[in-house]
Amino acid sequence: MSILALILKEIHHRKINFALGLLAVVTAVTLFIGFFTAGKASNRETARLMLSMGYNMHIIAKNADMNQFLITGIADETMPEQYLTKLASQKRISYNHLLATLQKEISWRGLDVILTGLAPEVCPPGRKKPPMSFEIEPGSVYVGYRVAESLGLKQGDRVKIREKELTIFRCLAESGGADDIRIQCRLPDAQEILEVPGRISEIRAVDCLCFADANDLVTVLRKEIGSLLPEAQVFQAKAIAEARAGQRQMVRNLFAVIMPFTIIACGVWIGVLAIMNVRDRQQEIGIMRALGYGSGPITLLFLGKAALIGLLGAVVGFLLGTALALNFGPDVFKLTAEKMIKPEIFLLIVSLIFAPVFAAVSSFIPAMIAVVYDPAVTLREE
Amino acid sequence: MVVLKNVAKTYRTRRGEVHALSDVSLHIEKGEFIVLCGPSGSGKTTLLMTIAAMLRPTSGSVCIDESDLYGINIRERAKFRARNIGFVFQMFHLVPYLNIIENVLLAGRVFGQNPRADTAGDLLKQLGLAERAFHKPAELSAGEKQRTAVARALFNRPQIILADEPTGNLDPDNADSVLGHLSEFHRSGGTVIVATHGQTAERFADRVVYLRDGSIEKSG
């Protein structure tokens, strides 16, 4: 009979002890999965919510009127489109999203509208991220609420902007901001309409940071970007950047406080159960010692059981944590849950590695107590 | 042959020292059936555990077949015990989650091999437990449990069986049955040492050693 068979038979015999141990691991893993998923979703949700506040780094043409830009949000000069790929391919500045736009206020069907051409969002190499803005098909437009309302436009309508024919992909809901008078299309379409091929008016960035150590990040970024994109000027929406960083830090802090506490509590719980198990099994340990079993098999009996509990707890905890996240996530993170909350296989792998180790470490002291039991004493006790 | 020379065992407790054994010397011949007799607290179990290589004496030596039990390391001692000594205890000490045949096989598993189930089956048959082979200890009577313990003690074909109050929890019929099986082992050349405060075992014994206050009062 193998040690594993002994462990399985003992588990079957002392089901409550096993179930309580399993519950401890499941609790720890479920909370880990839950917090991790919630933390990630929270970051994404914040980013999505802040999208309406704008990106936190703006790069516009050097000769653009900054005052005008700050008033209207539209740069009155353009710069080369290649600046986007240049910025994306350098290695001294990190970013999470880069978005090139071409914007211009135009008059269309008697309305003053903002025509915005969007290039596909650029993410760092190897880090595919869900886009923060629309992904527009060539020949399609998104029409702002007020424009659609004023002109009686609806989805599927064919419209002509200057000489370019486009199809309305969607009429947007009221935003209460400039988006209501915006017509958004793909960058090449906008370039064609505005007759500025290969030009953009702005690059927006999220979480744009320089790798160099510096207190004044904007100054350093200006210097770095200045040498890279000589026809550009840079400024940072500091409040947005700080708010985003602050929110992320808050989630990290929460994770850092609650997870160790939970893990310690569950570890103690497993340890106490293991001690109770060892006490229950004193006579069994004594007779095994008397029969000639050494410390190795006795230790394996207890640590093996703990590892088995950890393994099973990892699977159950992962399933439970994921199920909870999938079930309750959409109620909490209304904007992004559908895309962001999904089963994370790497979390299952992490759980399968760490939960058995965690359970075994928690049971280590009880296992050592079992090993040092004096069989002469335990077998004499009646 | 088991030889104890000037064996003493002192337990240190909060209330001071307890001399469980004092200057015990004893020669037990191979194939002898010895009964260690004496009232509770006389040192019978301590002496048995010392012979069993499970309790290091405070002083003196214990040799079995000229091998000094406490002169070898703990791992070697455990191996020696597994190969040469079988145990029977008053409280049976069967593993509750294993069935009867698995409890017997547990003794064989210690060598890291898969012990032969048919050997265990034969033993159970000899001890009248064939039909109980797949029962759990909780489903057995006291006599059946003790016979299972005897089967486990016999499984590795030991030289010596040490029995601590093996009939203490049994009715006279079952006590006779268990002692009969020990006697059979003795007749086949094995050494049996039984510690008891009763007199049931004495009629099977070649020699009775009387203990009192940790010393041999008389032997004969």
Percent of chain A topping pLDDT 70: 84
Q: Mean of the pLDDT values across residues B75-102?
A: 89
Domain holding B49: CATH number? 3.40.50.300
CB atoms A379 and B93 under 8 Å:
yes
Question: Looking at the predicted structure, is the pLDDT value of residue B162 above 80?
Answer: yes
pLDDT of residue B13: 85
Number of Cβ pairs closer than 8 Å across A and B?
69
Name every residue whose Cβ is closer than 8 Å to that of residue A271 and which is 6 or more positions away in sequence: A362, A363, A365, A366
Q: Is the pTM of this model over 0.90?
A: no
| Cα gap A333→A337, rounded to integer Å | 5
Q: Domain range for residue B103? A: 2-219
Say which amino acid occupies A147. V
Residue A338's pLDDT band (cuts 50, 70, 90): low
What pLDDT, on a 0 to 100 scale, did the predictor assign at position A317? 94
B75 touches chain A (CB under 8 A): yes
Residue contact B82–A292, C-beta within 8 A: yes
Beta-strand pair A111-118/A182-186 = parallel
CA distances to A92, A189, A234, A296, A349 from A368, rounded to whole Å, are: 53, 73, 63, 10, 29
Q: What pLDDT is attached to residue A268?
A: 92
- Residue A238: pLDDT over 70: no
pLDDT, tens only, A212-223: 555 566 677 777
Burial A253-264 (b: 16+ CB within 10 A, else e): eebeeebeebbe
DSSP for residue A122: B
pLDDT tens across B109-122, in order? 766 666 777 888 99
B147-186 residues touching A, CB cutoff 8 A: 152, 164
B96 touches chain A (CB under 8 A): yes
User: Taking CB atoms and an 8 Å limit, are B81 and A292 in contact across chains?
Assistant: yes
pLDDT tier at A35, thresholds 50, 70, 90:
confident
Give me the number of domains chain B comprises.
1
Sign for the CA dihedral angle at A185, A187, A189, A192 comes to positive
Q: How many CA atoms lie within 13 A of A103 on its CB side?
A: 22
Looking at residue A47, its pLDDT comes to 62
Using the Cβ of A239 and the Cβ atoms of chain B, whether some distance falls under 8 Å is answered with no
HSE of A169, CA atoms in CB hemisphere, 13 A: 13
The pLDDT assigned to B94 comes to: 92
**C-alpha triplet A79, A82, A87: angle, nearest 5°:** 95
Whole-number pLDDT of residue A193: 94
Query: pLDDT tens digit string along A178-204?
Result: 889 999 999 999 999 999 999 999 998
